[in-house]
A and B are shown apart, each in its own frame.
Chain A
């Protein structure tokens, strides 16, 4: 083979390998470009998934404002937009949407655009489809309107479907990328926003359910509160407030010594004889009428009602909270009770109705107070003072308030008295007694 032939053969070989190499390079490069393109799309979609993931983390206490504010920002940042917004209807059922949740950055005129209202044509609204606008596209009337009003050349306007209805729209826009391939908004952006919209709907459902649950919880809490108040009021009818607190705190109440209290008894004159002429119902109604008023009077004077035994009403002043003026308060309450009974008597006489007369007795001294039993328990007081108080009542006269000398010593500077002398009392010997009346003038 000549030198020229060898050269020609070598050149042929070079050309062959060059051609093979070029074909391989071509095929590799084209594959690489396509892979790169797909890879960019996948990355953008994964950023969209991150928005969805962030939505899943929405705090259960978030309200709609917080949700949409952070969502607009997340769409803007993650999808590398210049502006993003969530549009909600100005008025339910209308096709006007406002841009309350608008996040624009850089040179975007956020404040101006935020003031605008976007009017969605009925056919676009009813189609429930999204709109993509790109700078190079031929635009229809609505697309041009969006581009003009939203002040950005490339944008996406996509419905948020909630319970099969449009609850609002997503808007995201970006200016044209000089250093990036072609269009600003790509079809997969619509898919991403659709997916985000689906999650928004779910979150919205959660928020709505939460609101309903919160409403139920509030209602139930209110009911429980009311029930609690009723129970407490009932308990307060049975026990003094301080005792209820001790009972709630400790589950029991310790008996307590009181050095000085005033115990007041009332009793209706000739009750047994009188009650024989009435039906049981009438009798209960009549007693209830008197006792209700007496409850009011003792309550007004800060006197603790202890109990009623048949026609006898018993109360004590100076417990469960000790007070220095217990005897004065007891006497003043006794005056009011006596006056009420007297007024009632006069009225009932005029009406030709049966009436009661009352004897009232007061004694002052030490008592023990507490609760006994576990069923139908009641606050009660014990001690000689109680027995003597009862004797004061039984040794009194209708329409009079009979007090012992121990009570007299405590109130002598405040009222008028009629000394009755030392009167024998069963099992107690003689006790000085006084009828007490208010000071004249």
Chain B
């Protein structure tokens, strides 16, 4: 049987009805009689238990994975009001999906990543072709803090087949780091990392849509602790950024959060600009008292060389990158596209004059597209899996 994929969405404020409507719509659009696997996402204002009940009222037996997210993307819908829901259903004899999950990520990201890797390894999946990993981004503590992807993926990667295509994202319920939930089959959990191993006669291609260009000299982080960058080039980080942006009168320090982006070039330092070599780090918050930047990830350690990045997101750029990856799978039958997009890139938060997910919808064309807005995106940069910020990770699943 040829692989069928159906994608449905609903924007109803009643969680049960939204789950039911999105699932029924996915069944209908994909002309699916037997759902083998479901990716399910709901906005942060929904009751996840009611949403899951709604989904289960249509596909009670189907294995599921997903979570609460900051927003939903499908081939015909983009929403980030908190009430959107998206359901993707797969029906295939050729492609298989296995779900693994590990909890307590908030206590120790590294340990959770390691345990998840061991689970996947001992799962005995023949010929795994790709991996999707989603995790709870918010630690749910006071003061709020994120779960970090850097140790999580550093611990997970050694257990995976070398170079396996992988894409991932951190779930955020909203911009306040409210309680976030994950769906693991019929369970609603928190502080979990969820992995979906894809196997069978298929290929999985990913591409990174950054849209950031360096616009400063190389700067050196001179003092940092975890995700907090205190000093750059020997001066308080906030002062250094202000210096680069023209001073306090020009840019309010409150605007640094979700805007100031520092890029790490993993390629040739003075070579031609290669976007794929960059890992970008977005500022999560500003510690005004200490004139420090709180980053999404803790990997800007003292000695790291970074550049201030400017956003250069253009529709043409997205189209050219997506065309390139579509060419790579042109001899196969692409059945599904999945887009993990940084929440900060959504139009109400980015200030960019267009919605980049709309351009993705256009470029992907008639391949069924689903996705969600995330806190952190994960993709392979160079050899290793890298948490990324202000990034979109687009994946294509193609049947052989």
Residues of A within 8 A of B254 (CB): 181-182
Given A37-B255, A40-B349, A29-B81 contact (CB < 8 Å): no
Q: Does the CB pair B176–A177 fall under 8 Å?
A: yes
Is A18 among interface residues, defined by CB-CB distance under 8 A?
Answer: yes
Q: Does the CB pair B257–A180 fall under 8 Å?
A: yes
Q: Does the CB pair A25–B257 fall under 8 Å?
A: no
8 Å CB contacts to B: which residues of A104-145? 105-107
Is B178 among interface residues, defined by CB-CB distance under 8 A?
Answer: yes
| Interface residues contributed by chain B, number (CB under 8 Å) | 40
Residues of A within 8 A of B250 (CB): 26, 30
The stretch among B126-134, B157-165, B350-358 that forms the contact with chain A is: B350-358
Which of B45, B176, B255, B258 is the one whose CB lies under 8 Å from A105?
B45
8 Å CB contacts to B: which residues of A278-329? none
Is A33 among interface residues, defined by CB-CB distance under 8 A?
Answer: yes
Given A77-B81, A176-B176, A178-B285, A33-B251 contact (CB < 8 Å): yes
- B48: shortest Cβ distance to chain A, in Å? 11
- B280: shortest Cβ distance to chain A, in Å? 15
Which of B217, B244, B284, B310 is the one whose CB lies under 8 Å from A18?
B217
A82 to B271, CA, bound (A): 48
8 Å CB contacts to A: which residues of B225-270? 244-246, 250-252, 254-255, 257-259
- B297: shortest Cβ distance to chain A, in Å? 15
Which of A25, A26, A103, A179 is the one whose CB lies under 8 Å from B285?
A179
Q: 29 A-B Cβ contacts within 8 A?
A: A22-B216, A22-B217, A25-B244, A25-B308, A26-B246, A27-B246, A28-B310, A29-B251, A33-B255, A33-B259, A34-B251, A36-B259, A39-B351, A39-B352, A40-B351, A73-B13, A77-B82, A77-B83, A80-B81, A80-B82, A105-B82, A175-B176, A177-B175, A178-B285, A179-B284, A179-B343, A180-B175, A180-B349, A181-B257
Residues of B within 8 A of A27 (CB): 246
A73 to B83, CA, bound (A): 11
Is A44 among interface residues, defined by CB-CB distance under 8 A?
Answer: yes
- A116: shortest Cβ distance to chain B, in Å? 22
Interface residues on A, range: 35 or more
Q: Does the CB pair B13–A105 fall under 8 Å?
A: yes
Q: Does the CB pair B349–A30 fall under 8 Å?
A: no
A106 to B45, CA, bound (A): 5
Q: Does the CB pair A178–B259 fall under 8 Å?
A: no
A395 to B197, CA, bound (A): 115
Is B22 among interface residues, defined by CB-CB distance under 8 A?
Answer: no
Residues of A within 8 A of B311 (CB): 32
Is B35 among interface residues, defined by CB-CB distance under 8 A?
Answer: no
Is B121 among interface residues, defined by CB-CB distance under 8 A?
Answer: no
Q: Does the CB pair B176–A25 fall under 8 Å?
A: no
A175 to B252, CA, bound (A): 22
Please give me the residue from chain B that is nearest to A25 by CB atom: B215
8 Å CB contacts to A: which residues of B34-73? 44-45
A103 to B45, CA, bound (A): 12
Is B348 among interface residues, defined by CB-CB distance under 8 A?
Answer: yes
A264 to B350, CA, bound (A): 98
Q: Does the CB pair B347–A30 fall under 8 Å?
A: no
Is B144 among interface residues, defined by CB-CB distance under 8 A?
Answer: yes
**Among A26, A27, A73, A176: residue with most chain B CB under 10 A:** A26
8 Å CB contacts to A: which residues of B312-352? 343-344, 347-352
Using CB atoms and an 8 Å cutoff, list the residues of chain B in contact with chain A. Answer: 13, 44-45, 81-83, 144, 175-179, 215-217, 244-246, 250-252, 254-255, 257-259, 284-285, 308, 310-311, 343-344, 347-353
**Among B175, B252, B351: residue with most chain A CB under 10 A:** B351
Is A372 among interface residues, defined by CB-CB distance under 8 A?
Answer: no
Which of A29, A78, A80, A181 is the one whose CB lies under 8 Å from B246?
A29
Bits for A174-215, please: 1 = Cβ < 8 Å to B, else 0.
Answer: 011111111000000000000000000000000000000000
- A59: shortest Cβ distance to chain B, in Å? 19
A175 to B179, CA, bound (A): 14
A28 to B144, CA, bound (A): 33
A413 to B245, CA, bound (A): 121
A178 to B294, CA, bound (A): 12
A107 to B257, CA, bound (A): 25
8 Å CB contacts to B: which residues of A1-51? 18, 22, 25-30, 32-40, 43-44
A28 to B353, CA, bound (A): 16
Residues of A within 8 A of B251 (CB): 29-30, 33-34
Please give me the residue from chain A that is nearest to B214 by CB atom: A25
Q: Does the CB pair A181–B255 fall under 8 Å?
A: yes
- B299: shortest Cβ distance to chain A, in Å? 19
Residues of B within 8 A of A33 (CB): 245, 251, 255, 259, 351
Residues of A within 8 A of B44 (CB): 106
Residues of B within 8 A of A35 (CB): 351
- A135: shortest Cβ distance to chain B, in Å? 12
Q: Does the CB pair A178–B175 fall under 8 Å?
A: yes
Please give me the residue from chain B that is nearest to A79 by CB atom: B81
Q: Does the CB pair B258–A78 fall under 8 Å?
A: no
A106 to B348, CA, bound (A): 20
A12 to B254, CA, bound (A): 36
- B45: shortest Cβ distance to chain A, in Å? 4
A30 to B177, CA, bound (A): 28
Residues of B within 8 A of A181 (CB): 252, 254-255, 257-258
8 Å CB contacts to B: which residues of A63-101? 73, 77-78, 80
A269 to B177, CA, bound (A): 108
Which of B82, B176, B178, B351 is the one whose CB lies under 8 Å from A37?
B351
Q: Does the CB pair A26–B175 fall under 8 Å?
A: no
Residues of A within 8 A of B349 (CB): 40, 180
A43 to B144, CA, bound (A): 28
- B261: shortest Cβ distance to chain A, in Å? 11
Please give me the residue from chain B that is nearest to A175 by CB atom: B176
Residues of A within 8 A of B284 (CB): 179
Given A43-B348, A105-B82, A28-B175 contact (CB < 8 Å): no
